[in-house]
Structure 1
Amino acid sequence: MLRTDVRLEWFVSFLAVVDTGSFGAAAEVTHRSQPRVSTHVAALEREAGVALFDRRKRPVALTDAGAALAEHARRILGELHSAEEAMAARRGIARGVVTLGSYPSPSAAFVPRVLSGLARSNPDIEVILSDHSIPVLDEAFAAARIDVCLRPLTPPPTSKSLRHRVLWREPLVVVHPPEHPLAALPEPLPIAAVAEHPVITIGRAEDMAFEWYKLFRDRGQDLHPVHTTNQPQTVIGLVREDLGIGVMNALAARVSDTTGVVVRRLEGNCGRRVAAFWDASRALTPAARTLFRHLGTTPIPEGTEPAPAEDAVQV
């Protein structure tokens, strides 16, 4: 039987293991040592009188008892955060913990400036960055593990309750070796000429909703990548070894080491639009609202374009 004096930090460590799938990763996201996280979970199991994890599995899996306790733990911590935010609102300040979801290119080129500015203006807000591929971000949003998210409009989110504000636009680019046949062609590179070569892209091969697939389809070309990855630098590395040419968003190329390759614009007006998202089915805490506003006022990354006024309106 759980006593009323169970420490809340035990719940924090416990849920961190649930969300990350390992004690090591949980230690990293909670800024605690792994032995401390293990001690917290062991203490919680001792008080509960049952095992909460099946440690024989990798990643560690919840037992039935662990799954039941996780629901209550989230609710308890959620109520505690709500109480704190309610008091903070009455003190006239925003404070608390907020989780920002993002994917590799804005995480490198935009998020650091956002976090440094927010730390100066709102030091009582702690932001936890959750950096993943777009499909994983969607799953985390659906599971309420993310409060605010940076993601492109394409592919569209799976959740119908998400709303967004577009922050910037960026062109699509082609990455190829300096001596590649495409080097003889002027910019912007024609779609038909690019389609003649093996292509490497970002995103899953089975997900045909990314911007580059649409652009090629609109020009009557089928894009069948020979390799796909979620990491921009991996695209560059594969291109450097002459395994294909890369087609990607410009910001992804800008944050990568492009030594040994060239980056050139692709024809067509089908760039990537990047937005800040929130879930309209859940109330944003004052801390989350403050972060969202800060995303809209932080200067956009170099090489991108401001969203048109009609495009940037919240919907």
Structure 2
Amino acid sequence: MDTHRLLIFREVARTESIAAAARKLGWTQPAVSQHLRHLERQAGLPLVVRHSRGIRLTEAGATLLRHADAIATRLHAAEDDMAALADLSAGTVRLAAFPSASATLVPTAMTDLARRHRGLEIRLTQCEPPAAADLVTSGEADLAVLFSHDDRPPDHGPDLQVIPLTTDPVRLVVPTGHAAVTAAEPLTVLTTTPWIAGCPGCAAHLTRTCELAGFTPDIRHSTDDYVVIQNLVARNLGVALLPQLALDAYRHPDVQVRPLGTADRTHYLLCHREALQTPSVTQTTRSLQQAAAARQKPDGLSRSRCTTPG
């Protein structure tokens, strides 16, 4: 199949419109339609179904799109390789990361890269792990910083590489002076207290943690914003679980934090296997690993102070 036509088809599939793809490519709509018809003849199957609002992929089209995404990733990697051969500090890395990592680990890594490789450009997109993983899978991002509340990150498929980064303790966050601060088993005094949950994965982890302690949490509020969560806690509107990384990014003066000891989450990097062959992605990976290592003390806890009973 013609690679050029595959990339044109990829743009049609991503925009769900021949007209929108033509505008983005700077071509005429008839020219894009002609390339699409040629590709369908080469494939021997219809790839799209046209309707009044654009196009819909057939099963063959969806299958071919996965290959087109992989080709686009390889081509982007080839561009980076050529730039690196001409100038070892050149290249662009499209990085996706969840909010607290975007506020802590990523700026540290970006500062390090800017100091050592002035020509290397990092383009950050902030999003939660499922969306960030999708960006890598589709070829829209080269590297993603993700987290998992399980011991192991999810299986992302054979084409993707999972790189361990660090563990992040999850803390109990309560209003200043709350009884849970000094309780031997802090969760046991929170069975009837309102809770504030985060993203869907974090909310599921909160529920599992409380159920292990013998109760189902009364989740009153949901927000992905760790600043909002702490402001609600400070006003005695609920309690929450927050990862230490979020508390490193922002700490409200009117909340107290208790370690739980058994509720860590795992941070890891995700990229296409081929992407690790490009110097820009390799250097970015190393800088993120160094930033993660620098935030850890010998006992495995972050620099931020936690309140402990006694």
Relative to the length of structure 1, the TM-score reads 0.66
How far has the Cα of 1:292 moved from its partner?
0.7
How far has the Cα of 1:274 moved from its partner?
2.1
Question: Mind listing any 5+ residue stretches in structure 1 that lack a counterpart?
Answer: 5-10, 22-36, 309-315
Matched residues in 2 for 1:278 and 1:100: separation? 10
The counterpart of 2:175, out of the listed 160, 174, 177, is: 177
How far has the Cα of 1:229 moved from its partner?
2.2
The counterpart of 1:106, out of the listed 101, 105, 109, is: 101
Matched residues in 2 for 1:120 and 1:44: separation? 44
Q: Which residues in structure 2 correspond to 1:101-250 (within 5 Å)?
A: 101-154=96-149, 156-157=153-154, 159-161=156-158, 162-167=161-166, 169-178=167-176, 182-183=178-179, 185-186=181-182, 190-204=186-200, 208=204, 210=205, 212-250=206-244
Q: Does 1:292 align with 2:290?
A: no
**Which 10-residue stretch deviates more, 89-98 or 100-109?**
89-98
Question: Mind listing any 5+ residue stretches in structure 2 that lack a counterpart?
Answer: 37-47, 301-310
How far has the Cα of 1:291 moved from its partner?
0.9
Change (3 A) 1:306 1:103: farther
Code of the residue aligned with 2:182 in structure 1: it is P
Matched residues in 1 for 2:121 and 2:56: separation? 28
Change (3 A) 1:138 1:299: closer
Deviations 1:173-222 (A, max 9, x none): 2333336xx247417761212333111122217962x3x44433443343
Matched residues in 2 for 1:102 and 1:73: separation? 24
Number of the residue aligned with 1:267: 260
Contact 1:173 1:263 in 2 (8 A): no
Contact 1:164 1:275 in 2 (8 A): yes
Contact 2:136 2:270 in 1 (8 A): no
Code of the residue aligned with 1:225 in structure 2: it is I
Change (3 A) 1:68 1:204: closer
Higher relative strand content: 2
Number of the residue aligned with 1:277: 270
Code of the residue aligned with 2:241 in structure 1: it is V
Matched residues in 2 for 1:164 and 1:224: separation? 36
SS in 1 for 2:262: coil
SS in 2 for 1:230: coil
Matched residues in 2 for 1:61 and 1:272: separation? 41
State the number of aligned residues.
276
Contact 2:97 2:124 in 1 (8 A): yes
Matched residues in 2 for 1:275 and 1:72: separation? 25
**Which 10-residue stretch deviates more, 265-274 or 98-107?**
265-274
Relative to the length of structure 2, the TM-score reads 0.67
Contact 2:95 2:141 in 1 (8 A): yes
Larger radius of gyration: 2
Matched residues in 1 for 2:86 and 2:96: separation? 28
Contact 1:85 1:285 in 2 (8 A): yes
How far has the Cα of 1:122 moved from its partner?
1.7
Contact 2:96 2:132 in 1 (8 A): yes
Matched residues in 2 for 1:131 and 1:73: separation? 25
Higher relative helix content: 2
CA-based RMSD of the aligned residues comes to 4.4
SS in 2 for 1:234: helix
How far has the Cα of 1:88 moved from its partner?
4.2
Code of the residue aligned with 2:278 in structure 1: it is T
Matched residues in 1 for 2:28 and 2:65: separation? 11
Contact 1:172 1:247 in 2 (8 A): yes
Contact 2:80 2:91 in 1 (8 A): yes
